[in-house]
Amino acid sequence: MKKVGFFRSIQLKFVLIYVLLILFAMQIIGVYFVNELEQKLVTNFKSSLQERVNLLEYNLREEMLKERTADMPTLEQDIQKILEDFSAPDIAEVRVIDARSRIIGTSDPTKQGTIGQRTTEISVKRTLSVGAEEDKMYVDEQTNKRVWVLTSPIISNREVIGAIYLVGKVENVFAQMDEINEILFSATALALGVTAILGVLLARTITRPITDMRRQAVALGKGNFSRKVKVYGQDEIGELAVTFNNLTKRLQEAQATTEGEKRKLSSVLSYMTDGVIATDRRGRVILINEPGAKLLNVSRETVISQSITSLLGLEEEYSFEDLLNEQDSVILDYSNEEGPYILRANFSVIQKDTGFVNGLITVLHDITEQEKIEADRREFVANVSHELRTPLTTMRSYLEALADGAWQDPDIAPHFLEVTQTETERMIRLVNDLLQLSKFDSRDFQLTKKEVNFTKFYNRIIDRFEMTKSQDVTFKRQLPKYPIYVEIDTDKLTQVLDNIISNALKYSPQGGQLTFKVEEQSNAIVVSVRDQGMGIPKKNLERIFERFYRVDRARTRKMGGTGLGLAIAKEIVVAHDGDIWATSVEGKGTTIFLTLPYELSQEDDWL
């Protein structure tokens, strides 16, 4: 058994919890105590100065209202004497201002020159105007210490005759708070140290029996049922130890029975390729094999005890009782944007001879490929039927008209016969294209490759189209001036290029331009045909090489297309170990690219 280190043990966790609780409590008490004490000290400081200012205001009022004779001291002298008696360690300065905002006294010896000058303090002017006290606390920029400023009016007969401007040294209060915080921090550190020691001693009394039970649990995991846990007391942990010993005994008895059944079940499930899910009588999953977990893309551990309807995503359609009565297979469609994914689920009820239902067995089978093949087959049959029905319907209509006497009309009959011939040729092209695709699908074809100068080969095909074109479309060639030799089946590749160029001509507007280009790469050549037609929407671009797929069905059918040309072109290019794709911008044109394997020829070096 691997020994658990102290830093990972439950003993350390007990100690940490104990210490953190004490620390948390001390912090709450400390924060509350410090905040309350700070508020109390600041309030007492302000109240003390306020009371003294009230007394000073009384004395100053008497002096300012006293009638003076020539032999008496001046008002400034009497006020200065009062301020000298008022000085205290917690007061930085006291100024007395008359009703005209003129300073008539100050307690600061260094500021005696301000006597007689008008004050610039805004708070003093507001006090002289409205007769109300103002106080504020701020940090003095010169001393970088906090001060408290009180501005109090001197009122006589409801008339403001002056003001007192007091600057208190409130920083002394905060200095006392810093000392108190240091004492509180030291006390907290001492309490935490004692708490940690007591926590270690207390944790040992709890962790010792838990450690024994851990050893016993590890032994049980290894199949050893002979050991018993020592009972240290009659408390909850002691009862847990007794219960643990009883559990060990019952596990030993149940293991023998379980092992036999488990071996049988494991041997069956291990050789199955389908997914198997078993539930209890309430529909909760009790077993799932590895193929089942892979099919549902879930973890075997996380789905245990989960509802079978929830696991299969059938909550809205089926209840567990419905699944018990389900006789047919249920198709589970998990398809998304990444691709189709379909499972088939078959259900079998597990029940006793008495009819009591013990649970449900679900067998999953992946039928994605089968469904995809079936869907492709249905779509292919529908497309072929539609493509054949259209010309046949047209031919039938014209032939019926001819049979009804239109053949005798020299103006109508030739036109009807021409349409019938055109539709017949279209059907022949469609059948030939289908036969060719059938050969590609069955691999019943062979390429007759030979080395060809592709530049000359491509120019010859372009020349043919340039000579026979009927639209006002210009051809622009961006082809190398030197030969490029590749191994291709010229007949098959001619068919590819004919199809691409003819499509480009069909969708090119009058006065447009076709651009033909060949580029060399390290291991391939890239051939492209670009038109200036209507373009292809981005959502349709990836599907133009599918069989029977048309972006504009009505226009394509009108122009005589079968919807198979690009599909055949893709099969031929892929057979040449190349690739084909398209880019397009709506309203500006489309470019078809194809690649062919190509090896750069290297001249031999002769010595």
Domain boundary among 442, 464, 492: 442
Across the range 583-592, mean pLDDT stands at: 88
Percent of the chain with pLDDT over 70: 85
Q: Which residues are CB-contacts of 510 (< 8 A; sequence separation ≥ 6)?
A: 471, 472, 473
Domain with 171, as residue range(s), is 12-176
User: Could you tell me if 456 and 536 lie in one domain?
Assistant: yes
* 220 assigned to some structural domain: no
Q: Has residue 341 got a pLDDT over 80? A: yes
pLDDT of 474 strictly over 60: yes
Going by pLDDT thresholds of 50, 70 and 90, the confidence category of residue 528 is very high
Is residue 214, in this structure, part of any structural domain at all?
A: no
Q: Which of 395, 425, 442 is the last residue of a domain?
A: 442
* Whether residue 530 is found in the same domain as residue 546: yes
Same domain, 263 and 308: no
- 326 and 246 together in one domain: no
Alpha carbon of residue 536 to chain centroid: 33
263 and 391 part of one domain = no
If you count them, how many residues does the chain have? 607
| For residues 360-371, average pLDDT | 82
Q: Between 235 and 249, whose confidence is greater?
A: 249
- Examine residue 486 and state whether it is found in any structural domain, yes or no: yes
pLDDT for 607 equals: 31
* Band (283; pLDDT cuts 50, 70, 90): confident
Q: Which residue has the higher pLDDT, 130 or 201?
A: 130
Q: Are residues 236 and 146 in the same domain?
A: no
Question: For residue 464, is it within any domain?
Answer: yes
Residue 607 covered by a domain:
no
Q: How confident is the model at residue 521 (pLDDT cuts 50, 70, 90)?
A: confident
Which residue has better confidence, 371 or 185? 185
What does the pLDDT look like over 401-412, one tens digit per residue? 777 777 777 777
pLDDT score of 159: 87
Give the separation between CA 436 and CA 499, rounded to whole angstroms.
14
Tell me, what's the pLDDT at 605?
39
Answer for the pair 91, 107: CB distance below 8 angstroms, yes or no.
yes
- pLDDT at residue 187, as a whole number: 82
Render pLDDT for 37-93 as a digit per residue (tens, 0 to 9).
888 888 888 888 888 888 888 888 888 887 777 778 788 888 888 888 787 888 888
pLDDT exceeds cutoff 60 at 442: no
pLDDT in tens, 551-561: 654 444 444 45
**Count of alpha carbons within 13 Å of 280, Cβ hemisphere only?**
8
Say if residue 19 is exposed, middle or buried (CB neighbours under 10 Å; 0-12, 13-18, 19+). Answer: middle
CATH at residue 542? 3.30.565.10
Are 362 and 484 in a shared domain?
no
Q: Any idea what the CATH number is for the domain that residue 322 is in?
A: 3.30.450.20
CATH number assigned to the domain comprising residue 405? 1.10.287.130
- Is 162 found in the same domain as 55? yes
Into how many domains does the chain fold? 5
User: 576-579 long-range contacts, Cβ below 8 Å, gap at least 24?
Assistant: 576/447, 576/488, 576/489, 576/492, 576/493, 578/524
Beta strand extents in 117-168 (DSSP E only): 134-140, 145-156, 159-168
Tell me how far apart the alpha carbons of residues 300 and 289 are, in angstroms, rounded to a whole number: 8
- For residue 204, tell me if it sits in a domain: no
Which residues neighbour 466 within 8 Å (Cβ) at sequence distance 6 or greater? 475
Last residue of a domain, one of 386, 418, 442: 442
Instruction: Indicate whether 477 and 532 sit together in one domain.
Output: yes
162 and 20 housed in the same domain: yes
Among 259-273, 327-341, 428-442, 497-511, the range with the most confident prediction by mean pLDDT is 497-511
What are the residues facing 150 on neighbouring strands?
Answer: 135, 166
Q: Note whether residue 211 is domain-resident.
A: no
Residue of 496, 490, 516, 526 whose CA lies nearest to 598: 526
- Among 335-344, 444-453, 509-518, top mean pLDDT goes to 509-518
195 within domain boundaries: no
What local confidence, expressed as pLDDT, does residue 596 receive?
92
Binned at pLDDT 50, 70 and 90, residue 606 comes out as very low
Same domain, 70 and 106: yes
Mean confidence (pLDDT) of the chain: 79
Same domain, 354 and 390: no
